[in-house]
Structure 1
Amino acid sequence: KKAQFILTGSSARKLKTGHDLNLLPGRVVMLTMTPLLYQEFPEPRPKLDDMLLYGTLPGIATETDHQMQETDLYSYVTTYLEEEIRAEALVRNVGSFTRFLEVAAGEAGKQVSFTRLSQDVGVTDTTIANYYQILEDCLIVLRIDPLTHTQTKRRLIKSPKYLFFDLGIRRACANEGTQLPQKIIADLFEQFVGTELVYYSQLTSPQIKVRYWRDAAGPEIDFVLDMAHHYLPVEVKWTDKPDLSDARHIVKFMSETPQAEQGYVVCRTPRRYKIADRVTALPWQEINFLFHK
């Protein structure tokens, strides 16, 4: 059947926080429109490197001219993000928020320290927390909360991580060019996998939550799918031949967590293969496989 869509100009923050909105309880279903998932692209699909740099927003990702993509990305940041914040009077000091936006984009995917960011931006840590909440309400960042309960004596990290909803927008906010070192590309690959996991979880079931796990002493799992009754640990590696060393934290996590029976290393391998008894190397193109088990 054909569908008719009505697109309005109401800000996401107003819709989420408005007290006078009548959302017709019982008659409204909340659906999320995301950037394109890799499997949603028509053939020929974009190259991985292009998606890491230019993102997956439909009108930008399908543009073949990189210069036009750059123009569109920076226009989005200046005409939407910054103007939206200014128009809605969400912050008192737009200059501080603009500095925060650049720093937050550079810190995407990392464990957040509000205190450290407050020193970089020149505002209080309470203001930094408020700025992140604004980005969340405007659907610009995705919050990744940690798993904090354990059956061992481990001291687990409790700070959240944030991913930008689109990697092209993240790069424009960070004011980065396109010639990036491999370490940053590897970090972007991890963020790309993280956003795909979040979007697939939203499409699959509201009960699935994407989290991460980190011991203060060092061991960390990039992402853990919290599927209500069991956990699915996922590590992300910028390699095409992951080995047991790449899966060691997954093995440790599963040995201490009875609810975790299988683990995956998402990487650039062309095919699935077993790394350990219960750990599989998974091509990044097959992330959707994790949600159909």
Structure 2
Amino acid sequence: TSHEIEDFDLLRYLNHGGLPAIYLSEEPQEDLAGYVSLYLKEEIQAESLTRNLPAFSTFLDAIALSNGEEINMESFASDCGVSPITVKNYLQILEDTLVGFSLPGFRKTKKRKAISRIKHYLFDVGVVNHLCQRGLIQSKSELFGKAFEQFLIQEVRACLDYQRTIVSLSYWRSTSQFEVDLILGQKLALEIKATSLVQDKHLKGLRALKEEGLIEKYAIVSLDEEERTTEDGIAIYPWKVFLKKMWDRKIV
């Protein structure tokens, strides 16, 4: 995690991920390629977790391309050339080996109907970048935004695990397209935006969810330089401030 890395470089992390040997490597792309080939594919086969390595490799590439997106099991399975049951089994392999994790849809809203599909993430943004052949991620690009979102979600998960805080994690999206990136039980609704100036347009999802009165606190994490709070009580955190408060147990 960023908490453990001295002189943490966000852009380096978003490009190469947080595996220590790769983050610190002078040849991170080559080392990532070796890691994905050796561990993610061969080790999983060696453990007899899947007998059909070509199908699993196709699935792994597809799940990387769908990283952080909602998954429709039927269409996703069709794209991979396997059955929906096989996709569920493969997802379970990723979770059992700590290579991936899922966020279910938060479905408790009454005023707006919620979508129930899961989102799936691989455990490391560098691995995602390699499998998707993204190339170099530049600041302020769309890929930077996606990687930044995954980075924050991973950090929250790691912090909660380390502190042994048991809280369910989910995301919310309504059928009318309001969305909140991460919900921590009933404690916190969190939006993540790679913008240097949070504006009202970035808060629409949080405000729509806030109308339901289901969550204690609402916040957005961004590239802003100053911490502040909106008139309706939504906290705006620079990402470094947010993570420090998380590790200091001042958020949850």
Length-normalised TM-score, structure 2: 0.91
Contact 1:254 1:261 in 2 (8 A): no
Secondary structure of the residue aligned to 2:51 is coil
Q: Aligned to 1:45, which of 1, 8, 13?
A: 8
Unaligned runs of 5+ in 2: none
**One-letter amino acid matched to 1:260:** I
Cα distance in 1 for residues equivalent to 2:187 and 2:70: 21
Contact 2:193 2:222 in 1 (8 A): yes
Aligned to 2:47: 88
Cα distance in 2 for residues equivalent to 1:139 and 1:183: 27
**4+ residue runs of structure 1 moved beyond 6 angstroms?**
none
Cα distance in 1 for residues equivalent to 2:31 and 2:21: 9
Find the structure with the greater CA-based Rg: 1
Aligned to 1:194: 153
Q: Aligned to 1:240, which of 196, 200, 205?
A: 196
Aligned to 1:10: none
Aligned residues: 247
Contact 1:247 1:275 in 2 (8 A): no
Aligned to 1:6: none
Cα distance in 2 for residues equivalent to 1:255 and 1:153: 8
**One-letter amino acid matched to 2:5:** F
Aligned to 1:249: 205
Instruction: Tell me how far 1:179 sits from its aligned partner.
Output: 5.0
Q: Aligned to 1:270, which of 212, 219, 225?
A: 225
**One-letter amino acid matched to 1:167:** V
Indicate the RMSD between aligned Cα atoms, in angstroms.
1.8
**One-letter amino acid matched to 2:11:** D
Cα distance in 1 for residues equivalent to 2:219 and 2:108: 21
Contact 2:137 2:144 in 1 (8 A): no
Contact 1:234 1:266 in 2 (8 A): yes
**Change beyond 3 A, Cα 1:244–1:153:** closer
**Change beyond 3 A, Cα 1:116–1:184:** farther
Unaligned runs of 5+ in 1: 1-36
Cα distance in 1 for residues equivalent to 2:168 and 2:16: 26
**One-letter amino acid matched to 1:56:** G
Q: Aligned to 2:21, which of 56, 59, 65?
A: 59
Identity of aligned residues (%): 28
Contact 1:111 1:159 in 2 (8 A): yes
Contact 2:14 2:137 in 1 (8 A): no
* Pair 1:215 & 2:179 matched: no
Q: Aligned to 1:164, which of 122, 139, 142?
A: 122
Cα distance in 2 for residues equivalent to 1:83 and 1:252: 45
Instruction: Tell me how far 1:137 sits from its aligned partner.
Output: 0.7
